[in-house]
Amino acid sequence: MTPTSYSEGGLAKSINGAVLPDAPDLARMRTERHARLQAQMAAVGVDALLLLGTNPVGYTTGAEAPGADSGRAGLMRPVALVVGGDPQPHLFTPYPEGAPADLAGDHLHPAIYPELPDGAASAAAALSELVPAGGRLAVDELPHPLAAVLDSYEITGASGVLGPARLVKTADELACIRTAQSINETAMAQVQPRLRPGVRQNELSAWFLEAIFDLGATGNGIDPIWQVMPERLADGPWTTHGDVAFPTASTDRILRAGDVIWVDTGIDWRGYASDFGRTWLVEAGAAPTPSGRQAAQFRRWDEVMAAVLSILKPGVTALELGRAAIDANGGTRPWIEHFYLAHGVGTESAEMPMIGTDLGDAFDDRMVMQPGMVLVLEPVIWDEGAGGYRAEDIFAVTDDGWVALSDHPYDPYGERSW
Amino acid sequence: MVITAGPGVAALPEGGRVDFARLRRERRARLLEAMAEAGLDALVLGRPANITYASGARQLWTAGARPFGPGAVVMADSGEVHLLSTWDDGVPSEIGRDHLFGLSWNPGRIVANLAAIPGLASAPRIGTDGWSPGAGALVAAVAAGAEFIDAWPALAAARRVKTVDELACLRTAAAAAEAGMSALVEALRPGITERQLMGVHAAALARLGLPTPPIEAAASLMPGADGKPTALRRLVSDQAAEAGQMVALTAGALYAGYEATLSRTWLVGSEPGALGTASAGQRGIAGQARALRDARVAACRPGPLPASLGPDQSAGAEPVAWGVGLGMEAPLLGAGLGTGTELSAGMTLVVQAWAAGLSGPGGALEADLVLVGPEGPESLTRFGSCPALTAD
Q: Give me the residues paired with residue A165 across strands.
A: none
CATH number at residue A35: 3.40.350.10
* Domain stop point among B144, B159, B174: B159
Among positive and negative, which fits the CA dihedral A157, A118, B255, B57? negative
CATH number at residue A180: 3.90.230.10
B106:A207 CB<8 A: no
Q: Which of B63, B34, B150, B126 is nearest to A115 (CA)?
A: B150
Q: Please work out, in degrees rounded to the nearest 5, the angle formed at the alpha carbon of residue B73 by the alpha carbons of B72 and B79.
A: 125
Which tens digit of pLDDT belongs to each residue from B208-224?
A: 999 888 887 789 998 75
Residue A289, C-beta contacts closer than 8 angstroms, at least 6 positions apart: A283, A412
Q: A361 is in which domain, residue-wise?
A: 171-404
B47:A250 CB<8 A: no
Contact list in A for residue B66 (CB cut-off 8 A) is 70, 74
Q: Does B106 touch chain A (CB under 8 A)?
A: yes
pLDDT tens string, chain A, 418 residues long: the values are 333 344 334 445 799 999 999 999 999 999 999 999 999 999 999 999 999 999 999 999 999 999 999 999 999 999 999 999 999 999 999 999 999 999 999 999 999 999 998 899 888 999 999 999 999 999 999 999 999 999 999 999 999 999 999 999 999 999 999 999 999 999 999 999 999 999 999 999 999 999 999 999 999 999 999 999 999 999 999 999 999 999 999 999 999 999 999 999 999 999 999 999 999 999 998 789 999 999 999 999 999 999 999 999 999 999 999 999 999 999 999 999 999 999 999 999 999 999 999 999 999 999 999 999 999 999 999 999 999 999 999 999 999 999 999 999 999 999 999 9
Residue of A nearest to B210 (CA): A202
Q: Does B139 touch chain A (CB under 8 A)?
A: no
Contact list in B for residue A144 (CB cut-off 8 A) is 128, 130-131, 149-150, 152
Q: Which of A263, A201, A222 is nearest to B61 (CA)?
A: A222
Q: Give mean pLDDT, residues B7-32.
A: 92
CB pairs under 8 A between A and B: 247
* Domain stop point among A124, A143, A166: A166
The answer to whether A77 and A57 are in contact (CB under 8 A) is yes
Q: Tell whether A62 and A208 lie within a shared domain.
A: no
Residue B173 identity: A
A68:B215 CB<8 A: yes
Instruction: Pick B103's closest partner by Cβ from A70, A144, A338.
Output: A338
Question: Into how many domains does chain A fold?
Answer: 2
Closest-CA distance, B332 to chain A, in angstroms, reads: 9
Q: Does A64 touch chain B (CB under 8 A)?
A: yes
Residue of A nearest to B9 (CA): A252
Within a domain: B328: yes
pLDDT (0 to 100) of residue A129: 94
Give kind and range of the element (H or E) at residue A51: strand A48-51
Q: Does A121 touch chain B (CB under 8 A)?
A: no
> Is cis: bond before A353, omega within 30 of 0?
yes
Q: B64 is in which domain, residue-wise?
A: 20-159
Contact list in A for residue B339 (CB cut-off 8 A) is 118
Residue of B nearest to A205 (CA): B206
Query: Cα dist. A275→A119, A264, A268, A272, B66 in Å?
Result: 36, 7, 10, 10, 18
Count Cβ neighbours within 10 Å for each residue of B326-338 and write b for 16 or more, e otherwise.
bbbbbbbbbbbbb
- pLDDT of B229 > 70? The answer is no
Contact list in B for residue A248 (CB cut-off 8 A) is 60, 87, 89-90
- pLDDT of B331 > 60? The answer is yes
For chain A, what is the radius of gyration of the CA atoms?
A: 22
* Whole-number Å distance between alpha carbons of B345 and B190: 44
Instruction: Pick B105's closest partner by Cβ from A66, A77, A359.
Output: A359
**CA end-to-end span of chain A:** 13
* Alpha-helical runs (H) found in A141-197: 144-147, 159-167, 171-191
Within a domain: A58: yes
Q: Give mean pLDDT, residues B254-259.
A: 96
Within a domain: B114: yes
Q: Tell whether A62 and A186 lie within a shared domain.
A: no
Q: Tell whether B363 and B222 lie within a shared domain.
A: yes
Q: Report A:365-404 residues touching B (Cβ under 8 A).
A: none
Question: Into how many domains does chain B fold?
Answer: 2
Q: What are phi and psi of B377, to 5 degrees?
A: -75, 150
Residue A262 identity: W
Question: Coil, helix or strand for B52?
Answer: helix
* Domain stop point among A107, A139, A166: A166
Q: HEC states along B334-379?
A: ECCECCCCEECCCCEEEEEEEEECCCCCCEEEEEEEEEECCCCEEE
A139:B203 CB<8 A: no
Within a domain: A40: yes
The answer to whether B366 and B345 are in contact (CB under 8 A) is no
B60:A239 CB<8 A: no
B377-379/B363-372 β-pairing: antiparallel
* Domain stop point among A120, A139, A166: A166
Among positive and negative, which fits the CA dihedral B38, B39, B45, B48? positive
A267-269/A154-157 β-pairing: unpaired
* Whole-number Å distance between alpha carbons of B339 and B311: 6
Residue A233 identity: L
Q: Tell whether A217 and A288 lie within a shared domain.
A: yes
Within a domain: A5: no
* Domain stop point among B159, B194, B211: B159
Q: Please work out, in degrees rounded to the nearest 5, the angle formed at the alpha carbon of residue B386 by the alpha carbons of B383 and B392.
A: 130
Find how far residue B328's CA is from the centre of its chain. Answer: 3
Question: Coil, helix or strand for B195?
Answer: helix
A48-51/A79-83 β-pairing: antiparallel
Q: Which of B374, B324, B15 is nearest to B170 (CA)?
A: B324
Q: Tell whether A238 and A352 lie within a shared domain.
A: yes
Find how far residue B167's CA is from the centre of its chain. Answer: 13
The answer to whether A406 and A313 are in contact (CB under 8 A) is no
Cβ burial of A239 (10 Å; 0-12, 13-18, 19+) is buried
Within a domain: A181: yes
**CB neighbours of residue B248 within 10 Å:** 26
The answer to whether B322 and B338 are in contact (CB under 8 A) is no
Which tens digit of pLDDT belongs to each residue from B34-82?
A: 999 999 999 999 999 999 999 999 999 999 999 999 999 999 999 999 9
Q: Tell whether A157 and A194 lie within a shared domain.
A: no
Q: Tell whether A244 and A384 lie within a shared domain.
A: yes
- pLDDT of B257 > 60? The answer is yes
Instruction: Pick B330's closest partner by Cβ from A96, A116, A216.
Output: A116
Within a domain: B8: no
**CB neighbours of residue B95 within 10 Å:** 21
A71:B336 CB<8 A: no
Q: Tell whether B136 and B41 lie within a shared domain.
A: yes
- Whether ipTM exceeds 0.90: yes
Q: Report A:334-353 residues touching B (Cβ under 8 A).
A: 338, 349
CATH number at residue B169: 3.90.230.10
Residue of A nearest to B50 (CA): A71
Q: Tell whether B213 and B102 lie within a shared domain.
A: no
CATH number at residue B109: 3.40.350.10
Residue B340 identity: G
Q: Does B93 touch chain A (CB under 8 A)?
A: no
The answer to whether A32 and A170 are in contact (CB under 8 A) is yes
* Domain stop point among B131, B159, B187: B159
